[in-house]
Homo-oligomer: A and B are copies of this chain.
Amino acid sequence: MRDDIDVLVHEVGTRDGLQAIDTIFSTEGKMAWIKREAEAGVPQIQVGSFVPPKLLPQMADSGEIVKQSIQIPGLTVSALAPNLKGAENGMAAGAHQIGVVMSVSEAHNMSNVRRTTQDSLDDFARIVEFRDTHPEYKDVCLSGGMATAFGCTISGAVPLPEVMRVAEGLLERGADRLSVADTVGYANPGQVKELFDELYRTVGSDIAIGAHFHDTRGLGLANAFAALEAGVRELDSSLGGLGGCPYAPGASGNIVTEDLVFMLESMGMRTGVDLDGLLEAREIMERQLKDEPVHGTFAKAGLPLGFKYASAA
């Protein structure tokens, strides 16, 4: 991580948010959002997903979006890929980081991609092998994503040892980074601390670990704080909390980027992000929405009197 920030805020609204809503943003519209948010100082943005356009038409221009985004100075560009084919396309477009997500819950993985987690781990190994046999991609960071790590809408509770098993499986197969996701908004802060404490004990503190929380039941930022307490220093979030949960109509999606940045900077943790710039990016995003709600309270309340950015302290 850059030495001028303490926590890496990873914007995922341009992927997780956009794929969850009906409105399809134009390539220009996405780029206006990405550029303004990068300009505000957000260090990493997940700009797309290399899935078949038939499945997610919102993501059909991901190749073009990656190509344009990597021109933005200083921005780390990440993208999701569900399989080797997607990962190849993402690397070919020039993404700096490819996230490959599998569900810790067997039932969820089976329902989502019709594969066992073991099969998904083997797929991950093939992606690593592809990267390692193509010197032009040697700098691509391969992130192993663990969905439903805090619970599953099909099987309920997900035992901690299963999360550890998948984490170790990903690292054994060459993952450069882990991402732990509360895909369905089941996590609570006590559980979050317990999981990350156990994860650091299991895999050591050298590996970069990110956390991905949804605010489905209002605990998103409490969970983020709990993750920070456990030592996590990379957090996914979505501008205006764009997105949602298909199981909870009207419920919010990822934790809200601007609320998260406000929390971090208030706590003295440098993010490199300017909140005014973030609100401008939010407006650029919001203008392109049709009926989709945006979330978050910082945008309404603004900065407290006497607020100081952590980097200015």
Residues of A within 8 A of B (CB): 151-157, 184-186, 188-191, 215-219, 221-222, 224-226, 229, 245, 247-252, 256, 259, 262-263, 266-268, 296-298, 300-302, 304-306
Partner of A191, one of B153, B224, B267, B302: B267
Partner of A216, one of B247, B267, B297: B297
Tell me the minimal C-beta distance from A168 to chain B in angstroms: 25
Tell me the minimal C-beta distance from A95 to chain B in angstroms: 30
Partner of A251, one of B152, B191, B266, B301: B301
Say what secondary structure dominates the interface of chain A.
loop
Tell me the minimal C-beta distance from A108 to chain B in angstroms: 11
Taken together as a complex, chains A and B put the C-alpha atoms of A256 and B245 apart, in Å, by 20
Taken together as a complex, chains A and B put the C-alpha atoms of A243 and B185 apart, in Å, by 26
The answer to whether A188 and B266 touch across the interface, beta carbons within 8 angstroms, is yes
The answer to whether A222 and B304 touch across the interface, beta carbons within 8 angstroms, is no
The answer to whether B300 and A191 touch across the interface, beta carbons within 8 angstroms, is no
Q: Can you list 15 A-B contacts (CB < 8 A)? A: A151-B306, A153-B305, A156-B305, A189-B267, A216-B297, A217-B297, A218-B221, A218-B259, A218-B263, A221-B221, A221-B222, A222-B225, A245-B301, A250-B300, A252-B297
The answer to whether A266 and B190 touch across the interface, beta carbons within 8 angstroms, is yes
Nearest neighbor of A258 in chain B, beta-carbon distance: B218
The answer to whether A157 and B263 touch across the interface, beta carbons within 8 angstroms, is no
Residues of B with C-beta under 8 A to A216: 297, 301
The answer to whether A185 and B301 touch across the interface, beta carbons within 8 angstroms, is yes
Residues of B with C-beta under 8 A to A151: 304-306
Besides A222-B225, A247-B301, A251-B297, 17 other CB < 8 A contacts?
A151-B306, A153-B305, A155-B306, A157-B306, A188-B267, A189-B267, A215-B297, A216-B297, A217-B301, A217-B304, A218-B263, A218-B297, A218-B298, A219-B262, A221-B221, A221-B222, A222-B222
Listed from nearest, the 4 A-B pairs whose CB atoms lie closest are A156-B306, A188-B266, A218-B259, A190-B267
Partner of A262, one of B152, B154, B217, B267: B217
Residues of B with C-beta under 8 A to A184: 304
Tell me the minimal C-beta distance from A152 to chain B in angstroms: 7
Taken together as a complex, chains A and B put the C-alpha atoms of A296 and B152 apart, in Å, by 22
